[in-house]
Each structure stands twice: as C-alpha cells, then as structure tokens.
Amino acid sequence: MRNTGPIAIVSAMQEEVSKLVELMNGEPTTVGSRVFWLAHWHGHPVIAVLSGIGKVAAATTVATLIERFGVKEVIFSGVAGGLGDDVKVGDVVVAKELVQHDFDASPLFPRYEIPLYARSHFPSSPLQHQCLVQAAQASLPGLARAMQGEHLLAGLGVNAQDILVHEGLVVSGDQFISNNAQREDLRARLPLALAAEMEGAAVAQVCFDFKVPFAAVRVISDRADDSASLNFTQFIEEVAAPYGAHVIQTYLEMRPTHD
Ligand code: SAH
C-alpha cells in the first residue's frame, strides 16, 4: 500500500467532473484521451478525472491514474440505479463489494468468477469505505444547501429528510438497466445487489491488481426500471453532481492527511 501520492476521484459523467474541477480549481494534464485535473484540496493532493461510461473506459483510466500519477487511493463517485427494495432515488449507496453482473465464462468457471483471480466479488478497502460511509452520513444535513435540485427531488417524491445511506453489494455491467425485465432478471440472479451501474467492479479489479485502496459512492438516480431514463440528465446536473461533490469534500475533510 502506498502512503504518498494523490487521492484520485473518478466519475463517469462530465457534469460530475466539471462540478469537482470548479470547486477544487484543478489544473489539467492530458494523457491519451483523458484529462486529469490536479489540485490541492482540503489538505490533500487530489486528481479528478472523467473516466467515461463503461468498464473498459473506467479500467484504462484507473490504470493510468496508478501507473502515471502514482495515486495512493481511488474513490469513485457517481450515480446508479437502485435495485434493493428500500434503495430509493436520492439515497446513497457505498459499495462494500462489487461484481461484474455481465461476466460469464461458464461452464469453464462459475458464473461471475473472473478467471485467474478465483473470485467474483471485489471488496472495497475497509478504511476508505468506512470514511466514505461516515462522509455520506455527515453530509446529509448540509445537502439541501449543496443542491440546486431540491424541487427535482421533491418532484420525484423524495423528501430530503428521508434520504438513507446504504452499504453493500453493487453490481456493474456494460448495460444501462432501464426496463423492468432487466431489473427483475438482475435481482433474481444477484439478490443481494443494492444498485446497478457500469464502472465500479472494473475499477475495483484494477485496484485489486495494483493493491491500491479503493472505495465507491453512488447517488441513486433511478430505479433501474422502465422509468430509468426520465429526468436522468437533469437529475445528474441538478442533484447528483453537487450532491456527489459535497460527499467527496466531506470525505477529504475527514480523511487524515497522513495514514
Ligand atoms: N443517458 C446517459 C447515459 C448514461 S449511462 C447519457 O446519455 O450520457 C448511465 C451512467 O450512470 C453510467 O455511468 C452508470 O454507471 C450510471 N447508471 C445510473 N443508472 C444506471 C442504471 N439504471 N443502469 C446502469 N447504470 C446506471
């Protein structure tokens, strides 16, 4: 484990990275087709980067963060579709472990198992995970101020007071889960899954390879069902981006500057 180097903040969508870069006043460096934004923020060297959407884009971005920038930990911040019964739009899910729900090398290997790793589930790092859970919980009271999108949350039937922070299994795949059949299929196959997204398990696998601590936080943008694409872009811009940035700032404030 490395104790020096910047903390990397990775997001899949432009709105999320733009919000972070604006707040931290980052300086850009381009490697390949990614722009890495460097800053000193809340007492830490930090790099924010747009991974783009999907497992391959996320994996190459994180390999670059580790190899080129020597980051000491990777935090993924983004949105996800809620799968658990009590995981509603506006809630936060902090990933305790992650699985690629679309990985299937059976019958050679059990479904979801990644060949040569002898595992399907990749854990987040306990220290970073706990700190992220605490940051998500601590940010709830200040959330209303951080968001311009309270009317949007209210329009989705979400009351800021009812927002919950969940921890558990997050599943990733190269699919936007946006109909009831896909949702029910996933829930039947992976009943413990709290949320579905498109990058986390890939990032967890790369961090596992390089022994770099990793944790991930997702704001629930939709219920991964027939209504998933309604309000999606507006939700990211007005709710999830400021909300995610608020959680990350709280995380950096709480995180010791030296381990
Ligand atoms: N319409 C969007 C598509 C975004 S894809 C666009 O045009 O840009 C969805 C992104 O949000 C991915 O980065 C994924 O990690 C996350 N996500 C949110 N809800 C999801 C869902 N229901 N299924 C899969 N990924 C989801």
CA separation for the pair 9, 249 (Å, rounded): 11
CA separation for the pair 257, 43 (Å, rounded): 6
Higher pLDDT, 168 or 228: 168
Residue 188 lies in a domain: yes
Residue 73 lies in a domain: yes
CA separation for the pair 5, 176 (Å, rounded): 34
To test the ligand 1 pocket, which listed residue (15, 175, 198) has its Cβ within 8 A of the most ligand atoms? Answer: 198
Q: Which of 15, 16, 73, 97 is catalytic?
A: 16
**Which residues approach ligand 1 with their CB closer than 6 A?**
12-13, 53, 78-81, 176-178, 196-199, 221-222, 224, 228, 232
Residue 35 lies in a domain: yes
State the pLDDT confidence band at 256, using cuts at 50, 70 and 90.
Answer: confident
Statement: the pTM of the whole predicted model exceeds 0.85: yes
> Among 258, 259, 253, 226, which residue's Cα sits nearest to residue 41?
253
Residue 19's domain spans which residues? 7-254
pLDDT in tens, 225-238: 998 877 788 889 88
- CA of 212 from ligand 1 middle (Å) equals 25
CB-based contacts of 79, cutoff 8 Å, min separation 6:
13, 16, 197, 218, 219, 220, 221, 222, 235, 236, 240, 244
Q: Say whether 16 is catalytic.
A: yes
> Among 245, 231, 247, 248, which residue's Cα sits nearest to residue 151?
231
Single-letter amino acid code for the residue at 57 = A
Residue 87 lies in a domain: yes
Helix axes 55-69, 200-210, angle to 10 degrees: 30
State the pLDDT confidence band at 64, using cuts at 50, 70 and 90.
Answer: very high
- CA of 176 from ligand 1 middle (Å) equals 5
- Are 7 and 248 a contacting pair, CB within 8 Å? no
Residue 27, number of CB atoms within 10 A of its CB: 10
Cα distances (Å, whole numbers) of residue 242 to 139, 145, 217, 234, 235: 12, 10, 14, 12, 10
CATH number of the domain that residue 196 is part of = 3.40.50.1580
The number of domains in the chain is 1
Q: Which of 91, 167, 222, 238 is catalytic?
A: 222
The percentage of residues in the chain with a pLDDT greater than 90, rounded to a whole number, is 81
Residue 97 lies in a domain: yes
Atom number of ligand 1 nearest to Cα 177? 23
- Which residue, by CA, sits nearest to atom 6 of ligand 1? 233
- CA of 173 from ligand 1 middle (Å) equals 10
Residue 92 lies in a domain: yes
pLDDT at 227 (0 to 100): 85
- Are 222 and 180 a contacting pair, CB within 8 Å? no
Give the strand pairing for 165-172 and 193-197: parallel
Span of 67-81, 117-131, 136-150, 151-165 with lowest mean pLDDT: 136-150
Atom number of ligand 1 nearest to Cα 13? 13
Residue 259 lies in a domain: no
How much is the mean pLDDT over the chain? 93
- Which residue, by CA, sits nearest to atom 25 of ligand 1? 197
Residue 1 reports pLDDT greater than 60: no
pLDDT at 259 (0 to 100): 63
To test the ligand 1 pocket, which listed residue (55, 61, 93, 176) has its Cβ within 8 A of the most ligand atoms? Answer: 176
Residue 1 lies in a domain: no
Atom number of ligand 1 nearest to Cα 224? 22
> Among 61, 50, 65, which residue's Cα sits nearest to residue 5?
65
pLDDT in tens, 4-27: 899 999 999 999 999 999 999 999
Q: Which residue has the tokens 């927002």?
A: 163
